Structure 1
Amino acid sequence: MPNKSSYNKIIDNWIKARNSAIVNKPVIDFADYINSKGTIFDIGCGTGLPIAKYLSDCDFSITGIDQSVKMIETAKSAGIQNSVFQTCDFFDFETDQKFNGIIAWDSLFHFPKERQSEIYSKVYHLLAPGDYFLFTHGKEEDEHTDSMFGEQFYYSCLSKDYVLDLMKELGFEIIYSVENFVEEKDQRDWVVLARKK
């Protein structure tokens, strides 16, 4: 997959884009659901801005991972309080900690299609009972490459119905499921907030 090296190459453009990006309302809702001083795991945290910074400012402790060395270097230098950032593949991430919140905002679609179904059981295992998982996703099963800032990126996803069935089977309760989410200039095919029963 080209994504790791592609993100390293576009880091300067990415910083410009993300440093001025809004914190989307679902992220704010997610933070409101979690008890104060909770722990949050950010899958594909990028540079930490604006999401990890916002969550840190809400008094949460953040663990952020990303495959891009340049993204993690930038996140570490951003001065975000109560945060730990590491270069890591999600499937290689191991901890005994159970998080109060897990967020995957614009990251799951970079995972290999053949491993997409593994995501949800791992997230379920990493979450504390009664706590929350927020993610963005495509609606239709898909696998393709596309360009961003002149570099190629890989994307994939499973169908919305398959993911919902899988999550319910694991023991997730769907708090909300929003298709065609739009806020200012931002658009997402599908936004889901789920809770581990």
Structure 2
Amino acid sequence: MGSGNSVGSGNSGADQENARPDRTGQAEAFDAIGDRYDEAFPHKEGQLSAGEWLIGSLPGGARVLDLGCGTGLPTARQLADGGLDIVGVDLSGGMVELARKNVPGGVFHRLDIADARPGGTPDLGRFDAVTAFFSLLMLQRAEIPLALRSIHQLLLPGGLFVLSMVEADVDDFAIPFLGNTVRVSGYLRDDLRRVVEGADFEILEETSYSYAPAIADVPPEEQIFLRCRRRG
């Protein structure tokens, strides 16, 4: 499971702020986990493969937003090393500090995706690609379509979007995670595809991996990776 905590609802104005669930506990859990996350999840073949696809698909200097950047490893560093201009956001201040150390060439913000939009504070602008590796699963299901619309708005026309989720039919479900408790949501793969396509993305490729984390309290999981393009 990924470390991203950066995602929230995609409503606007005061309604957006009022509707956003309190994710303080999520942020505190990942502050406490810190770089132990990378120790628990040492093999990230699907994530690295998706990163290589982005590097090969984008021109040098293209802007990429890493939603739920965690410690910056491996994605932000991989993309920065590949010549891309990286911006990362995460709700966990501790993760953002680690990302700044691990990827000194990137720009990182402590931010909920509800505030990660063109014209927001800070104004992140728009991007050639967005990654969301295991960050959307930190949302309640009702928020995920809204978050996908925010991502659509952050992308330039024809921009690329890579996401991964753990396949699971759960909504806001509490799980033990590296000595802490986090709440996660998920979909079965056909449902995930429908939600992503419903947010006006074309799914270019789907891959999946059976993954057993290197720690006892995190069960094996089926990871789904989607490579997408923004329609419109």
TM-score bin (small chain)? 0.7 to 0.9
Q: Cα deviation per residue 1:133-185 (whole Å; 9 max; x = unaligned)?
A: 00001334312121222111110024433442343344321110123x25897
Give the C-alpha shift of residue 4 in structure 1: 0.6
Structure 2: unaligned runs, 5 residues or longer: 1-22, 120-124, 215-220
In structure 2, the CA distance between the partners of 1:184 and 1:134, relative to structure 1 (3 Å rule), is: same
Give the C-alpha shift of residue 68 in structure 1: 0.5
Whole-angstrom CA distance in 2 between matches of 1:140 and 1:151: 20
Kept in 2, the 8 Å contact 1:30–1:193? The answer is no
The residue type equivalent to 2:110 in the other structure is: T
State the partner residue of 2:15: none
- Where do 1:172-187 residues align within 5 Å? 172-179=201-208, 181-182=209-210
State the partner residue of 1:165: 194
Give the C-alpha shift of residue 117 in structure 1: 1.6
| Residue 62, structure 1, aligned to residue 86, structure 2 | yes
Whole-angstrom CA distance in 2 between matches of 1:25 and 1:183: 15
Whole-angstrom CA distance in 2 between matches of 1:174 and 1:110: 22
In structure 2, the CA distance between the partners of 1:40 and 1:150, relative to structure 1 (3 Å rule), is: same
In structure 2, the CA distance between the partners of 1:89 and 1:53, relative to structure 1 (3 Å rule), is: same
Kept in 1, the 8 Å contact 2:72–2:103? The answer is no
Secondary structure at the aligned position of 2:185 is classed as strand
In structure 2, the CA distance between the partners of 1:156 and 1:166, relative to structure 1 (3 Å rule), is: closer
Give the C-alpha shift of residue 3 in structure 1: 1.4
State the partner residue of 2:185: 156
Give the C-alpha shift of residue 104 in structure 1: 0.6
Which structure's residues are more often strand, by fraction?
1
The residue type equivalent to 2:115 in the other structure is: D
Kept in 2, the 8 Å contact 1:116–1:157? The answer is no
State the partner residue of 2:147: 119
State the partner residue of 1:5: 28
TM-score by length of 1: 0.86
Whole-angstrom CA distance in 2 between matches of 1:106 and 1:48: 13
Q: Which moved more, 1:23-32 or 1:158-167?
A: 158-167
C-alpha root-mean-square deviation of aligned residues, in Å? 2.4
Kept in 2, the 8 Å contact 1:132–1:195? The answer is yes
TM-score by length of 2: 0.74
Question: How many corresponding residue pairs?
Answer: 194
Kept in 1, the 8 Å contact 2:168–2:185? The answer is no
Whole-angstrom CA distance in 1 between matches of 2:168 and 2:103: 38
Whole-angstrom CA distance in 2 between matches of 1:52 and 1:170: 25
The residue type equivalent to 2:116 in the other structure is: F
Question: Of the candidates 53, 60, 63, which is equivalent to residue 77 of structure 2?
Answer: 53
Give the C-alpha shift of residue 77 in structure 1: 2.3
- Where do 1:1-197 residues align within 5 Å? 1=23, 2-14=25-37, 16-17=39-40, 21-22=43-44, 24-81=48-105, 83-96=106-119, 97-143=125-171, 144-179=173-208, 181-182=209-210, 188-197=222-231
The residue type equivalent to 1:152 in the other structure is: T
